[in-house]
Structures are given as C-alpha cells and as structure tokens.
Homo-oligomer: A and B are copies of this chain.
Amino acid sequence: MRLPHVPLDEVEDVHVGLIGIPWDGGTTNRAGARHGPRQIRDLSTLMRNVHHVTGVKPFDLANCADLGDTPVNPIDLHDTIARIEAFFRDVHAAGIVPLSAGGDHLVTLPIMRAIARAQPVGMVHFDAHTDTNDRYFGEHKLTHGTPFRRAIEEGLLDPKRTVQIGIRGSLYTSHDMDWGYEQGIRVIQIEEFFDLGVEAVIAEARRVVGDGPTYISFDVDGLDPVYAPGTGTPEIGGFSTHDAQRMIRGLRGVNLVGGDVVEVAPPFDPSGATALVGATIMYEILCLLTEVVAKR
C-alpha cells in the first residue's frame, strides 16, 4: 500500500503493522501460499487513501508501516512456527496491532501464541474449512487444517466467542465437525449464510464475539473459487467478494486486536486477481483496525 518499509528493530511509534509470512509448510495439498505476501504487496499499490463507503482514511487515523516479512525456514515446520511467534512477540511488545498476509492458515497459530497469551481472543473466521481437525498423517498435529484446534487447546482462542462463516465441502467422516460444536463454536455453513443473508450474518457474528478482544482471520478459500482461484484447497459454491466486503464493514466498532488474510497462492493464479482480492480485503480490515487504534 505504498507504505514505508520499517525493519522491526527500527520501529518507533507505529500503530498498525503490515506483515508478510511467506510460508506454506503446513499445506497438505497444493503449496504456493509462500509466494502470497509478495504478490499481495504488488497489488496493494492499487489501494487509495479514502474508503469510498465508510469515508475512513486509514493512513490519517493511525501510523501504518510495512514491517516486512517474518523469517521462515521452508524445510522445518517447527523452527518456522517458533520464528514467526518470536517476530510477533516483538510486534506485540512494541504495541503494534498486526495485520498479516499469509502464508497458509497454520501461521495464525504462532500469531495467537504471541498476542493472546494474556487473554484469549474471540475470532471472526471466514473460510470454507473449519481448520479444527485434530491430526493428519497419523501423529501430525500442526498443519493448515488444525490451527484452531491447537489454539483452543492452548487457551488462546475462546471457542464460545468464535464464529466461522462459509464452511462447506465434503467431509472425511460424519464426525469432522463434532469437536467444534462441542466447544461451542458458532458455525455458519454456506447454506445457512445464503439463507440468512449478509445483514443477519453480521448481526450474528457481532453477537458471538461481543465486546472482548477479537481477531479476524480471512482465508481466501472462503470466497467462491471464481473470486480466488489462486488458492490451495478451492471449494466451489462460496460467497462473493462483495459479500465479504459487506461483512467486514459490518464489524466496525468491534474490539479488534489483529487480523490476517491467508492462503493466497500465486502459482495457481498468475494473473494476480486473487492477490488483488487479498490486498483489497486487507485494506478493508485495515480501515477497521485504524479506527480501533484511533479510539484508544
């Protein structure tokens, strides 16, 4: 978004930090999200100063900076998770609200480890998948299909203040989603989404997260694949970008502590259309975050 690049060790008086996480080592099927941050950055140059609906001027409301990419280790999952967490601990310690571009969805886990130790967060989660599976390939508990199971187990994420929107797609077993329901997660499958309509979904999401600290996690595969073909696990029949924009705008005033846009995989969309969507969604979230910061 044409923001100055500020290395983390030179940060001073930054309120909202944009951060890339070029890593997809948690991906079980089609990798490529490691290239997401670069292409999102490229396309973000199309963003302008004023939000055309809300009138918010994010760059006036708060000091925003591009904090660059986190360190990663493409061949060691556990090392990468640790590096990402360490980076976000520094961000958090500097009082910066993070807005991140993934990377695959597992990256949200170390972010939460860095910012939600003191108090669990609620979450508005846009996705085709619940990402609350227990394990893959036998004993493996850290993949892009498991971050929120881990986050809940570790007390970082409050399931009763979590809403998942856009869930769909065939299941491995009839019990895939039982665990989430038992924890109290509010799941709005895509069928219910279309039945309720955008306004009612917004109201329900606000009801679930309430006044507590809340995180927004936006997996682009929540969108219909025609809006985001460049992703690793597309599921047909999702919501539109316009729906997504409306929903995010509907979260104005929620007590937000951070957000991310994940699973943009440029190799599957060299045209850059998916990254443009990712950049625009980040801009929408940025408008919310800067309003929150400005009110403090």
Closest CB in chain B relative to A35 CB, distance in Å: 7
A80, closest chain B residue (CB): B137
Pick from A42-50, A108-116, A154-162, A256-264 the stretch touching chain B.
A42-50
Pick from A84-92, A209-217, A221-229 the stretch touching chain B.
A221-229
A47–B268 alpha-carbon span in the complex (Å): 19
Interface residues on A, range: 35 or more
Question: Of B27, B137, B225, B245, which contacts A76 at CB under 8 A?
Answer: B137
| Interchain CB contact under 8 A, A168 and B52 | yes
| Interchain CB contact under 8 A, B28 and A74 | yes
In the assembled complex, which residues on chain B have CB atoms less than 8 Å from the CB atom of A176?
50
Closest CB in chain B relative to A286 CB, distance in Å: 10
Question: Of B32, B191, B236, B242, which contacts A53 at CB under 8 A?
Answer: B191
| Interchain CB contact under 8 A, A225 and B276 | yes
- Taken together, the copies of this chain in the complex come to 6
A73, closest chain B residue (CB): B137
A241–B227 alpha-carbon span in the complex (Å): 13
Q: In chain A, residues 188-210, which have Cβ atoms closer than 8 Å to a Cβ of chain B?
A: 189-191, 194
**A149, CB-defined interface residue at 8 Å:** no
Closest CB in chain B relative to A231 CB, distance in Å: 11
**A127, CB-defined interface residue at 8 Å:** no
A234, closest chain B residue (CB): B276
Residues A189 and B140 in contact in the complex (CB < 8 Å), given A267-B268, A273-B229, A276-B236: no
| Interchain CB contact under 8 A, B227 and A227 | no
**A290, CB-defined interface residue at 8 Å:** no
| A118-143 to B contact mask, C-beta < 8 Å, 1/0 | 00000000000000000011101011
| Interchain CB contact under 8 A, B170 and A50 | yes
**A93, CB-defined interface residue at 8 Å:** no
A246–B192 alpha-carbon span in the complex (Å): 12
In the assembled complex, which residues on chain B have CB atoms less than 8 Å from the CB atom of A25?
25, 75
| Interchain CB contact under 8 A, B31 and A280 | no
| Interchain CB contact under 8 A, A75 and B142 | yes
Q: Which A residues are within 8 Å of any B CB, using their own CB? A: 24-32, 34-35, 38, 42, 46-53, 55, 57, 73-77, 79, 136-138, 140, 142-143, 167-174, 176, 189-191, 194, 224-227, 229, 233-234, 236-238, 240-242, 245-246, 267-273, 276-277, 280, 283
Please, could you name 21 A-B residue pairs with CB atoms under 8 Å apart, sorted by A?
A31-B31, A42-B42, A46-B233, A48-B169, A48-B170, A49-B173, A50-B173, A50-B176, A52-B168, A52-B169, A52-B171, A170-B283, A224-B227, A224-B241, A226-B226, A234-B273, A236-B241, A236-B277, A236-B280, A267-B268, A268-B271
